[in-house]
Chains A and B, each alone.
Chain A
Amino acid sequence: MAHLSDSLLFVAVLVYAMAMLGFAADAAARRASRVLSVEAVARDLVGAAGPPVTVTERPVRASGWVGTVALGLTALGWLAHVTSVVTRGVAAGRVPWGNMYEFSSAAALVAVTGFLVLVARGRVDKSLGAFVMLPVVLYLGLAGTVLYTKVGPLVPALNSYWIKIHVAAAVTASGAFLLSGVIALLYLLRVRFDERTVVGGSVRFPVSLGRSLPVAGSLDRAAYVVIAFAFPVWTFAIIAGAIWAEAAWGRYWGWDPKETWSFITWVLYACYLHARATGGWKGPKAAWIAVAAAGALIVDYYVVNIFVVGLHSYA
């Protein structure tokens, strides 16, 4: 069973990677077709001798079958991924989030789930796929190699029903936060692209990637929607953690490095939500805060677990 779980994760990564290539090919194909359609419009306008019109954005319904296949592959990979996490849990006879390898796999699963939900709800375009799947593949690859841990029982401090609640919430929020971090970065990229193209400047890589991204406003809103979902979940995870700490260590809060970084992450996301309601802070500035907050989350998960000594360093 444990072996099956490992193999399935390998399959999932492989299928995700194929999906990523599919999304990338789709984006490239669309870019080409968009250039064509813009030219066609321009010619029409010239022909009509109308006023000078600049076409900046035009909804393109490209053939997109490659993109649909990529989306299908993502869903297929997702199935393998879910099964991998579930069989891992069955093999260990406990919840499948007991060590760093398992946290990472589960968080990536949440991120992919979040992406699929956003696409299904029409919140973001599937053209985002390549940009979302790339970090997912790298992250899972890293988790499966560097952080890999054999199936084993939990250390006593982790052996509580609070772990199920606390860690499940933390993993869910983290997966969503990581997704929002990627979207916020893409938003910043797109904003930069728009700024450059408005003044007619030339764009180079990586800013040129902005061309195949959805409009800035929709990315901004997608990042917000994901964070608005994840923030209460993260808050709940911290509170459940505090209740667990109270039961295990006799204090609900002790500024342990892990607790401190969870707090920093929480406050930064509170900053983000505030910034969106504060004049002069909406848009790119808020997005930078979201990126910084995702950075704090990564420190919380990896730097603290690996390099900083604390009560949580058994993970």
Chain B
Amino acid sequence: MTTTPELESAAVRLSTAPEPVGPQRPRQLMAPVRRLWRQLTSMRTALLLLFLLALGAVPGGFLPQRSLNPVRVDQYVAKHPTLAPILDRLSLFDVFAAPWFAAVYLLLFVSLVGCLVPRIRLHARALRKPPPQAPGNLARLPASARWETSVPAEEVLGLAERRLRRWRTSRRGDALGAERGYLRETGNLLFHVSLVLLLVGIAVGQFYGFKGTVLVKEGSGFANAIASYDDIHPGRRFRQDSLVPLHFTLDDFRATYGPDGKARTFDAKVHYATSPDAPMAPYDIRVNHPLHVGAAKVYLIGHGYNVHVVVREKDGQVALDDSVGVPCLPQDARFLSTCTIKVPETRGPQLGFEGAFTPTTVRDPKTGRVGSAHPAVQAPALTIVGFSGDLGIDAGVPGSVYSLDHTHLTPLDGGRPHILVPGTSWQLPGGGSITFAGVTEWSTFQLTQDPGKRIALVAAIGIVLGLCLSLFVRRRRLWVRVRPETGTLTVVEVGGLARTDPDAFAAEFEELVSRLRSDIPPAAPTQATSTQEAE
């Protein structure tokens, strides 16, 4: 890195990058503030903050995150009782919502804006200004050439100007300055401005967006209202009345699998309407194929089985017959699913059942444990344990529909599991029975509204476009100087530089010089073109 001051000054202005922060003499009261600001908007700080951003994201890439999978966070906490509380104190299970992470990216963006504003101003000025004056000695530039010609000086500059017509040129005295590739800086600024726009888009989505999930059984419906959801994530500024009007019914859900049990297709057939009196229109919601309604989209995000059971009391009276079924929650890829059946409306003690549904049932010959060999319904079975007593539903404590509160329950038949296949029943010890009538399916849907999405997409396009311009366009400068020599000879000197990719520039320069030499033929044996490394 031995660059002459001259070269330095010719090259530096090829970039509008903030200059290194040097020692400054404080002149006014505001001086320390100004110095701090310059420090914050320097390239060095930007680099440091970018580095911290990458580093800060690392725990988010290794540790389970609450926003993604709270269950796995709980498992991790249980497994690491001493370490986990410390990690939790540092927000390492919520990295992307952590105050320190926000501090890094907000500082980065403050730095970015602070750095962009002057750069945009500088670039706008550079776009209007002619290329700078030629440095004193063109031979000192990374690429230079020199020859003598019998073409008169004035004419040489005219010919050179014609050759460089795709460059921006300006003639000053005995020299012609030329510059190309302003789009590089334009692209760079577009890229950085788009980054800011992207952040705006994300923020709009965070504040005004909505996400909710709901489980819908085959044959049931859904109406879009906050109360209908199982789980909601509204943005801080989301207003309920901005939920799009929508209701739909799930007519049929179908999944197909390969022989290895890997899923091939999922397909939820629905009928939907966007106003109470509109006719219902059919639609297939599939993976990668959501339902669009106004500003919202409805996605198919999961599926599972409902078991249809009929519970009868001693005298044969039906206590439970929910033909829509009780949803079971899948536990593995082969859809072994846990089911919880509550029978509160009995005249005697209440009944509850817990167990597993297996679509393709297999039994381990040694342990007798039941498992599922395939996610499709090929040999369905329901394996349950029964309880009687008080389900605790009336106590006013909102219990989960997916688990039993065992405090006031006693197991039936000593807690022995019973395996039912469709159509079979278990005669309960105290009289009465439970019959496994059949299976249907359910799907989970997610409705999202993200008003910032458009902005983010525009920003993304700006980012890619800006990057391409910024990385593929080369900004370079060239000067041609003429000096009348003794007699009729004219000395032509050409020098040029590019701040990036000197190899490619050297090739371009050589090509250009050979063109110029054919326009402006050398008079006598001349020195060859020389290119040196810029670094």
Contacts and interface: CB of A to CB of B under 8 A. Distances in A.
Given A156-B263, A250-B448, A255-B68, A304 B43 contact: no
A148 interface: no
A155 B258 CA distance: 10
Given A156-B287, A232-B467, A274-B50, A250 B503 contact: no
Interface stretch (B56-64, B146-154, B414-422): B56-64
Contacts of B288: 156-157, 159-160, 162, 244, 247-248
A299 B60 CA distance: 13
Contacts of A242: 460
Nearest to B466: A232
A252 B448 CA distance: 11
A123 B503 contact: yes
B69 interface: yes
A260 interface: yes
B503 A221 contact: yes
Interface string B57-84: 1101110110111001000000000000
Contacts of B502: 221
Given A250-B290, A256-B68, A271 B50 contact: yes
B17 to A, nearest CB: 6
Contacts of B67: 254-255
A275 interface: yes
Interface residues of A, number: 58
A235 B195 CA distance: 12
A308 B62 contact: yes
B337 interface: no
A57 B174 CA distance: 39
A274 B211 contact: no
A250 B446 contact: yes
Interface in B259-298: 260, 262-266, 286-290, 297
A123 B472 CA distance: 16
A260 B60 contact: yes
Interface in A183-201: none
A267 B15 CA distance: 22
A235 B211 CA distance: 27
Nearest to B95: A255
A235 B57 CA distance: 17
A246 B43 contact: no
B57 A267 contact: yes
B68 A254 contact: yes
A302 interface: no
B533 A217 contact: yes
Interface string B100-138: 000000000000000000000000000000000000000
20 contacts: A155-B262, A221-B501, A224-B500, A231-B467, A239-B464, A242-B460, A247-B290, A248-B288, A248-B299, A255-B96, A260-B57, A264-B54, A267-B57, A270-B50, A271-B50, A274-B46, A279-B44, A296-B54, A304-B61, A310-B68
Interface of A: 123, 152-153, 155-157, 159-160, 162, 217-218, 221, 224-225, 228-229, 231-232, 235-236, 239, 242-244, 246-257, 260-261, 263-264, 267-268, 270-271, 274-275, 277-282, 296, 299, 304, 308-310
Interface of B: 1, 15, 17, 20, 43-44, 46-47, 50-51, 53-54, 57-58, 60-62, 64-65, 67-69, 72, 95-96, 202, 211, 258, 260, 262-266, 286-290, 297, 299, 301, 446, 448, 450, 453, 456-457, 460, 463-464, 467-468, 471-472, 500-503, 533, 535
